[in-house]
Chains A and B, each alone.
Chain A
Amino acid sequence: MAEISFFRCIKKICGILIAIVALSASLMSQAYAADVVTTYKDEGGWRLKVNGEDFFVKGVVWGYSPRNQNYTYNLWGESDDFIRKVLDYDMGLMRAANVNAIRSFAMIPPEWITYIYQEHGIMTVVNPLMGRYGATIGGRWVPNTDYSDELTRAVLKAEVLELVEKYKNTPGVLMYALGNESNYGLSWSSFEIENLPEGERNTEKARYLYSLFNEVMKAGKGIDPNHPFSIVNGDIQYIDLIAEYCTDMDVLGTNAYRGKSFTSLWRDVDQKLDLPVLFFEFGSDAFNARTGQEDQKAQAEILKEQWQEMYNKSYGNGEEGNAIGGFVFEWRDEWWKYKQTENLDIQDRTASWSNQAYLFDWAPDQNNMNEEWFGIAALGTQNSDGVYTARPRMAYDVLSEIWKMDPYEYKKAAINQEIEDMNMDYLELKADVRMLKEESVEQRKILHFEGGSLRTEMLVKGTQAGVNEQGDFGDEFSNGEMVFLDFGFAPTDKIEGQFSLNVLGNVADTEPLELQYGRRGNPIRVRAVELEGGTVPVVKDITLRDRDRIEIYDFSAEYTGKIFDLEAFYHTPRYHWGYEGDFYGLIRETTDMAGQDIWNAKAPQGVQFDGKGIFEGLTLLVGPEVYWGANPKAVVRYSNTFKNIDWTFIHSEDLATSNDSATATAVTEVETRQTTLYTKTDLGFIKDGVELEIGGIIGSSDKIDDDYERLDQGSIFEDDIEFEDTLGIKTRLTFPVLGAQAYVASNYGGLVADGGAPLREFGTRLPYSEFGNKEEYEAGVMMNFGNWMVFPRGLYRDNLEKALPNRDPSAGGGQINPGLTPRNRDDDPFAILDNRKARAAELFVTYDPTGATPFYAWDNDTREDAGFAFNVGLNYTNYDTPTDSYEFFLEEFETNAAFGRGLPSEKVWEVSSRMVFNPTRDLRLVTNIIGANQQSTGEPDGGTREYYWADGKMVFRKKHILYAYAKYNAFGPYDFHRQFNITFPYQYKVDYSYLLDEKYDELNSTKIGIRGLLRGVDDDSPTNEFLVEGAENEYLWQVVAYFNWSF
């Protein structure tokens, strides 16, 4: 019996175990099954149901955009641990406010949608943008998507269907929504459409858009029948077309910015579509453009009324009954939205568009919508996990109260009563108190300390000769310390700014291998008269050691007014005006602050006035050095559009000649002036994509009547500059050809029609020049083949007047032949330098599978997200003729000096390649390889140099940074090396640093590191490095350990 009983017992236990396993499996499958989301309608109106339960969408548009980042930031490329920290922080706050759904522009990976759902109970809308901001079609990045193009339609459809397949079984998916206000982005042009009357063009384009949407929705429902499909329309524009084409749509999704009320939208949708309405964006900014202040109450009031109306318009309240919820735009402020690539660490206060529905700050002819202030939470500082915090605004508290209510449980009267009874004064006070507390954290006061950094380094260096002669005693040790202290100020609502102080301790003696910021504190020897014995004057050499220990490192201040903005700047980065009508590059970019720092240069310095309202388009710029190396000057610019032609007028007037070099040896330019006019016209009536740019210049008119010499068939002539010598004209015609984008350009410049820095795009090495005295022609074709781009370009230039040779004078018989010497830009009105005759050809081949992070963008080193992207470029230039004489700045006499001889004619070339690798999420590698045969930029002696180099930076887990280069027979690292034709047989550098905080910012993180340099020297190297105390030297070396603390 016992045995039977035992088996029974076993059997029973096994049965229970099987039952448990089966139940668990069942529960498990339940837990991981996708949800079934449906829409439902009866006489009470529409409802959305998730797994059969009513679901009123109480959502926010969510994204994670840290300070100093823009739209290219990708949270999903971070470590799982960090993603979890961000999600737990944000979703925790949202859940506390009763948020139940999010919409995100970035595609959230399926596993994280499920995580958000299971951990925080928040569902997600999958929202493919379907080419709204450009798409890769046929391997080519197309910024303006053409929805009429068959290939485009096929590519976009396939992409979305692939997504639906991927997400269909993902728990937490609420629905699919296509596009984002795509009806506002119908900006492509095609021959057929442009032939239509203007008013019909966009309607025709919209037909293509909505028909594609429906194609995708119809096919998508075949793949995933368990989730609704919607679109994200801009308001209800084209509602008739939507009714006509989007017959397979389940929910009308719309972004609506109509102010406090959605007015007739409910009725219009009810009558024309008979679909439930879901707002994918709506809300208000929290900034009052009139007062120039944050206005949390206005935002909260608008959102309260909007939600009250939505609740009233929901199911069962006797009205249209088609509201099923919405996503407030947006969860948290994003600081990149105005200008998108600039001022990413500043919350911009500029209103960028106008909307009369927002009466609290609307004014005629003024913008009132502040893109960077739409969050129901402000963007705070980083917490201990490195997550940028969300600082809830009043709207957050108001919505928390509203979202507590279930509109399907409460009746209309109860809802209204509940909302009316909300104590807005209390919530305002609560928000004010919270803001005050958090502002104290951010220390936003009239003058406040913002932080800074401490930089320390310990150095040991030596030379081969020193070590040979003295052994270890030949080594030299030094150390350096400096502190940066950053301050901000906002004395009024309209003025804010910042400045930094630099305080020097010791200055490490890194020269000659490295020139560093802080050299101003190096000891200098001066000759002075001292009284010996108190009475006898004696001339002595003395050393000054404690100079310039404190200086203002940078400063900027902005005034934001109604009819103009004013910006004062001192050593803060500024961009060129090349994309703002400055066809001749008169205003150069000054962003290389580190390059300036080694010379203690303090550019740019000046004040800029930007007109608004009646002064719209007018800019005034004046300052002692508005870009690095500029003479003191004043610039006026006026831009406008007239009959589809953009035009820009610029006049630049030097006010004096700078008496100091921008570096140590860079020449100063004589005082001059320039006037330019530029127009840009879209010639779509000829063919789509045809664009013509024309610019004219009057340059250096102050040189009229200046004398110059020229050589003509062996005779020397003296001539003078005339008005026509100041004129120049420059054109560029861009047009499509056989599926590629081609351009032809010409540039004629009179003898003294000097412009500024030419704009260089797509990595070109073509020998452009700022100077006149040229007739120049250029052409290129940008061809795209899938992810490949092939870009051949060519340039031909000839001079109006040639360079002068060196020829001795001769005399006899009471006559003198004056001889000749190469011109220079100080003694002559013009000189042939880099504007010399040239025939150049180049070819760039680029592979970049991710067009959204352009390979030639200035910040591509950090932004590129392709697994592998690279380019190879080859440039060959034949300089048929010699140059006139280059110059250098002679610091001792504070004047330029000519080398006295020109560079000879030469054939030069350069081959280069840049590669970006992202093999895993934790590893990034960027390399540059260059081989070249190039001339000096000044000293003609020593000949042309053939050199090679490679450099690379590896970033591992965003914390380990390894940089290294190896150079052979290359010029040294500073401009004067090439200016004086100084090369070194080999140069090596290795720099490893480890970031100690979570900012992941190479420049601003706290870090510790070590770097080493080794430089060989030979006869082409500077004498003082090559010869050490009379003995020949073969190398110099240096090792520096450093620690930077950011606080």
Chain B
Amino acid sequence: MRNRHSIKTHAALFRLPLMVLIALITVGCGGSNSGGTNITSIPLPTDTLLNLYCENAGVWPDSCVAQDPQNPYRNVVIREFDVNNPDAETKFALADAIPEGRTGAKARFYLWATALARRASGENQWYTARALHELFNYNEDPVIQAQALKAYRSVLDNFFGSATFFECCANLDPNGDPVPFSIPLNELTADDLYRTDATGWTRLIPGDPLLTISEMADWGYSYQPATPPSFDNGVVSVNDG
């Protein structure tokens, strides 16, 4: 009899936690999350003070800008051109939505640096370099100046053969639509460094433009500047040895 009583007690001891467990399971242990930060509408920065999130922010292959909490594009979908969906909106639509001039320079950097972090391309690297260059033009921050040079050099070092496409009024197809034409990024990079007429920005390497050619030679490249009036015949080549 004592043993039977013991068995019942034993059973009762187990029954309570078991029922609690089953109740827990039935009710469910969790639910959908709540909280977090509403990012449906993110304000774009309008200032020109840029704190680099890491030493090589905006220079491939570093992608730390994608983790930069100051980066408004950190969570933004940035679409590249898709040959299977050529009419879809791309990163250029986002770029066009950024105000021109001083108030948009910092946002432009974040856009292109984020695009570069997600997709390694010469185009993204060149636009990032240009954005840094533009920022330097406004804030004259030597850190940004150095970063812009690193970014331009990355175009040459890592994406020398890349090109970007432009559409211009000068070229129209028989239907009157613009025809895209490509320009080598190495040439655009050298032109941005050497000649400031097109942008009006401060030269990254101050002083005589020959210093730019000298700096590029130190990087391992030769540059034969473009000539007026068209400025489309510049040549960049890789130095032997």
Contact = CB atoms under 8 A, between A and B. Distances in A.
A binds B: yes
Interface of A: 195, 197, 683, 685-686, 692, 694, 707, 709-710, 712, 714-720, 724-725, 727, 729, 731, 733, 746, 748, 750-751, 775, 800-801, 807-812, 814-821
Interface stretch (B22-30, B131-139, B194-202): B22-30
Contact of B77 (A694, A712, A751, A820): A820
Contacts of A746: 25
Interface stretch (B93-101, B209-217, B220-228): B93-101
Interface string B1-37: 0011001001100110010011001001111111111
A731 B3 CA distance: 31
A657 B213 CA distance: 44
A812 B79 CA distance: 17
Contact of B36 (A719, A724, A800, A808): A719
Contacts of A775: 28-30
Tell me whether chain B's interface is mostly helix, strand or loop, or mixed: loop
Nearest to B46: A814
Nearest to A725: B33
A222 B78 CA distance: 91
Contact of B32 (A686, A800, A809): A800
A979 to B, nearest CB: 18
B83 interface: no
A717 B3 contact: no
Contacts of B35: 717, 719
A746 B26 CA distance: 8
Contacts of B40: 714-716, 817-818
A811 B32 contact: no
Nearest to B15: A686
B30 A748 contact: yes
A809 B78 CA distance: 8
Contacts of B22: 733
Contacts of B28: 748, 775
B33 A809 contact: no
B39 interface: yes
A709 B76 CA distance: 11
A819 B94 CA distance: 11
A809 B94 contact: yes
Contact of B37 (A685, A718, A800, A814): A718
A686 B7 CA distance: 10
A717 B98 contact: no
Contact of A685 (B3, B7, B38, B41): B7
A218 to B, nearest CB: 36
B93 to A, nearest CB: 8
B72 interface: yes
B30 A814 contact: no
Contacts of B43: 814-815
Given A683-B14, A724-B30, A808-B89, A195 B7 contact: yes
B11 A816 contact: no
Contacts of A685: 7, 10-11, 14
B73 interface: yes
B42 A818 contact: yes
A820 B35 CA distance: 18
Given A800-B32, A815-B42, 4 more contacts: A195-B4, A775-B29, A811-B98, A816-B41
B158 interface: no
Interface in B76-120: 76-79, 88-89, 94, 97-99
B99 A814 contact: yes
Contact of A694 (B14, B21, B30, B33): B21
B182 to A, nearest CB: 23
Interface in B21-76: 21-22, 25, 28-44, 46, 72-73, 75-76
30 contacts: A683-B18, A685-B10, A686-B11, A692-B18, A710-B33, A712-B34, A718-B37, A718-B75, A719-B33, A719-B37, A720-B36, A729-B25, A729-B29, A731-B21, A731-B25, A748-B28, A751-B33, A775-B28, A775-B29, A775-B30, A800-B33, A801-B33, A815-B43, A816-B41, A817-B40, A817-B41, A818-B73, A818-B76, A819-B77, A821-B77
Contacts, number: 109
The 10 closest A-B pairs by CB, nearest first: A719-B36, A811-B97, A819-B77, A818-B76, A717-B36, A685-B11, A748-B29, A715-B40, A746-B25, A818-B75
Contacts of B72: 816
Contact of B30 (A692, A716, A750, A815): A750
B29 A716 contact: no
Given A748-B28, A820-B77, A716 B39 contact: yes
B98 A807 contact: no
Contacts of A751: 33
Nearest to A728: B29
Size class of the B contact interface (CB-based, 8 Å): 35 or more
Given A800-B32, A808-B77, A820-B77, A718 B39 contact: yes
Given A718-B37, A731-B21, A809-B94, A800 B42 contact: no
Contact of A709 (B7, B32, B39): B39
Contacts of A750: 30
Contacts of B32: 800-801
A888 to B, nearest CB: 16
B236 to A, nearest CB: 20
A816 B29 contact: no
- Determine which residue in B11, B29, B31 has the highest number of CB atoms from chain A within 10 A of its CB, and name it: B29
A719 B33 CA distance: 9
B119 to A, nearest CB: 11
A777 to B, nearest CB: 9
B44 A718 contact: no
A810 B41 CA distance: 9
Contacts of A816: 41-42, 44, 72-73, 76, 94, 97
Contacts of B44: 811, 814-816
Contact of B3 (A197, A707, A715): A197
Nearest to B99: A814
B238 to A, nearest CB: 14
Nearest to A719: B36
A715 B38 contact: yes
B25 A800 contact: no
A712 B89 CA distance: 25
Contacts of A195: 4, 7
A352 to B, nearest CB: 32
Contacts of B36: 710, 717-720
A709 B99 contact: no
A815 B38 CA distance: 13
A724 B10 CA distance: 33
A715 B40 CA distance: 6
B97 to A, nearest CB: 3
A534 to B, nearest CB: 19
A814 B3 CA distance: 79
Contacts of A800: 30-33
A818 B42 CA distance: 8
B2 to A, nearest CB: 9
B77 A809 contact: yes
A696 B25 CA distance: 12
Contacts of A714: 40
Contacts of A807: 77
A247 B99 CA distance: 106
A714 B46 CA distance: 27
A709 to B, nearest CB: 6
A685 B44 CA distance: 67
Nearest to A820: B77
Nearest to A816: B42
A725 B89 CA distance: 35
A252 B7 CA distance: 38
Nearest to A900: B82
A709 B4 contact: no
Contacts of A709: 39, 75
Contacts of B75: 707, 709, 716, 718, 818
A820 to B, nearest CB: 6
A811 B43 CA distance: 10
Contacts of A814: 43-44, 46, 99
